[in-house]
């Protein structure tokens, strides 16, 4: 199996949802895009592995191409570490690396949220509830707040109604429908999962924009340093966080 021949299992962003997969350039590849937040028992990784096992049981050859976007890259890489024989290859797009691998926070637009997840989870729960109110009653305002400082490529994407619809769907999933799952993923992300990178055995492809203000490019360099399998880094000139997913090729 190769990157270009294998069915895709997609791990969406945080915040985000299955509709993030609309941005992928997959050609004729079948895509499985579960809602990672939709669970009520166990932890995020256990639930993710169960979702993947169910998808693999239906896939030809029992393997899939695991793709992760943003914090979904954590899900993709940890899944590859947990199921080395069942993951054919991995692509991570605009990946958010473990925070313990560098001084990344000052360059991350989401730094205040991650600091709350680490230091004041109760305040984060309150903030998420407030975001849920905006997502329910004024989703356009919430989108505009989150993208207030984005650059030209992201501004162009925001002019696309399909992209805005996918964003709003992901925000509803994160802040309203599956808030506890969203918070559980944030908690898992800010914890130290860096050791699991050395357990990834599948080849890894990384796509990262050099103008990304959510996940700095240095994060991809850190991931490449620790993944023992072949790791190919594709830098997208002028690419930002979401626009890079449009540039990525799963092949």
Q: What is the pTM of this model?
A: 0.94
Domain ranges of the chain: 1-251
Task: Tell me the average pLDDT across 154-181.
Answer: 93
Let me know the angle formed at the C-alpha of 72 by 218 and 204, rounded to the nearest 5 degrees.
60
Distances in Å between the alpha carbon of 234 and those of 77, 210, 250?
A: 17, 10, 12
Pairing of strands 31-32, 8-11: parallel
Give exposure, 61-85, as e/b (b: 16+ Cβ within 10 Å): eebbbbbbbbbbbbbbbbbbbbbee
Pairing of strands 64-69, 8-11: parallel
Residue range 1-251, CATH number:
3.40.50.1820
**pLDDT score at 42:** 79
Secondary element (H or E) of residue 68: strand 64-69
Contact between 43 and 188 (Cβ < 8 Å): yes
- Taking the C-alpha atoms of residue 69 and residue 225, their distance in angstroms, rounded to an integer, is 19
Region 112-118: mean pLDDT is 97
Round to whole Å and give the CA distance between 221 and 225.
6
| DSSP 8-state class, residue 43 | -
What is the residue-wise DSSP string for 193-244?
A: -GGGGGG--S-EEEEEETT-SSS-HHHHHHHHHH--S-EEEEEETT--TTHH
Separation CA 9–CA 92 (nearest Å): 12
Which of 35-44, 69-78, 150-159 is the most confident on average? 69-78
What average pLDDT does the segment 221-230 reach? 91
- The whole-angstrom separation of Cα 251 and Cα 249 is 6
**Complete DSSP assignment for 76-121:** HHHHHHH-TTTEEEEEEES----GGGSS-GGG-TTHHHHHHHHH-H
pLDDT at 148 over 90: no
Q: pLDDT tens digits for 185-195?
A: 999 999 999 99
Q: What is the pLDDT of residues 17-68, one digit of tens each?
A: 999 998 888 777 889 999 999 987 778 999 999 999 999 998 888 899 999 9
């Amino acid at each position: 199996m190769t990157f270009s021949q294998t069915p895709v299992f997609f791990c969406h962003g945080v915040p985000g949802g299955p509709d993030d997969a609309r941005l992928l350039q997959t050609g004729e590849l079948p895509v499985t895009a579960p809602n990672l937040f939709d669970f009520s028992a166990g932890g995020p990784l256990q639930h993710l592995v169960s979702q993947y096992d169910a998808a693999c049981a239906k896939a030809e050859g029992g393997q899939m191409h695991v793709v992760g976007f943003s914090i979904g890259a954590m899900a993709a890489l940890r899944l590859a570490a947990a199921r080395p024989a069942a993951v054919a290859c991995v692509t991570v797009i605009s990946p958010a690396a473990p925070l313990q691998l560098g001084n990344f926070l000052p360059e991350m637009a989401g730094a205040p949220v991650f600091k709350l997840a680490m230091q004041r989870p109760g305040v984060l729960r309150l903030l998420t509830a407030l975001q849920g109110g905006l997502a329910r009653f004024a989703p356009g305002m919430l989108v505009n707040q989150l993208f207030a400082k984005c650059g030209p490529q992201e501004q162009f994407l925001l002019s696309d109604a399909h992209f805005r619809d996918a964003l709003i769907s992901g925000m509803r999933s994160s802040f309203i429908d599956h808030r506890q799952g969203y918070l559980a993923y944030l908690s898992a992300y800010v914890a130290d999962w860096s050791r699991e990178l050395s357990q990834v055995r599948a080849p890894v492809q990384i796509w990262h924009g050099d103008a990304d203000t959510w996940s700095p490019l240095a994060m991809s360099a850190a991931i490449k340093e620790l993944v023992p399998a072949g790791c190919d880094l594709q830098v997208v000139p002028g690419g930002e966080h979401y626009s890079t997913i449009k540039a990525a090729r799963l092949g």
